[in-house]
Chains A and B, each alone.
Chain A
């Protein structure tokens, strides 16, 4: 097992375009999290899943953002009508009870909106 993977690692898009990112968690982990990290800041929580159920969404997640985890394995994060303010690193993490307070992070997808 190689840990949490994310694809793509980098994405450059024009304002107004839609983008989709993928996260593959560690195989036995049933919780999956999305965070956003802007330059010079720590990561901020966006949303998380337990299996296929989305349990919580942050206020940061506007209605242009949607996340899915259809089969309880990989997850996708879609941003519609991107804005320059969406430029950030999008991080995925996973965890497995009973050690669910420890989350393992992927390398992130860096989004640049021109």
Chain B
């Protein structure tokens, strides 16, 4: 079946550190891949997406590359800020349904 596995949190980093949150997926065909972010007390927001192999999604300094050969879509940011503290969800779209990972809570210390 279709599924998403992402690294468990919480992840705690100091401001300006490099961030990687690992995400791998299992799916038939070639799904679109997403990272959503959920800030405290707010709804889910689309952070970035990629629709085909080797596409790189980017937004707000975050990047992720659709790697078909490793079925991965790891999220990276070169220098995190306190305001990046949130829960991050890796997801795929298959048959018009979004399938989410369990989420990774990120906590950035000033």
- Residue numbers of A with Cβ under 8 A of B are 4, 31, 33, 35, 40-45, 48, 55-56, 91, 93, 100-108
B96 pairs with A104, CB closer than 8 A: no
Number of interface residues of B (CB under 8 A): 22
B102 at the binding interface (Cβ < 8 Å)? yes
Contact of B43 among A42, A56, A100, A105 (CB under 8 A): A105
A43 pairs with B100, CB closer than 8 A: yes
Tell me, in angstroms, the Cα distance from A68 to B46 when the chains sit together.
26
Number of contacts between A and B (CB, 8 Å)?
Answer: 54
User: What B residues does A107 contact at CB under 8 A?
Assistant: 42-43
B44 pairs with A105, CB closer than 8 A: yes
B103 pairs with A101, CB closer than 8 A: no
Tell me, in angstroms, the Cα distance from A75 to B91 when the chains sit together.
24
Majority secondary structure of chain B interface residues (helix, strand, loop or mixed): strand
A48-B97 contact, Cβ under 8 Å, with A41-B102, A42-B102:
yes
User: What B residues does A100 contact at CB under 8 A?
Assistant: 96
B81 at the binding interface (Cβ < 8 Å)? no
Give residues of chain B (40-97) contacting chain A, Cβ–Cβ below 8 Å: 42-46, 49, 51, 89, 91, 93, 96-97
- 9 further A-B contacts with Cβ under 8 Å, apart from A33-B97, A42-B91, A103-B93, are A31-B96, A42-B102, A43-B89, A43-B100, A101-B96, A102-B49, A105-B43, A107-B43, A108-B43
B44 pairs with A91, CB closer than 8 A: yes
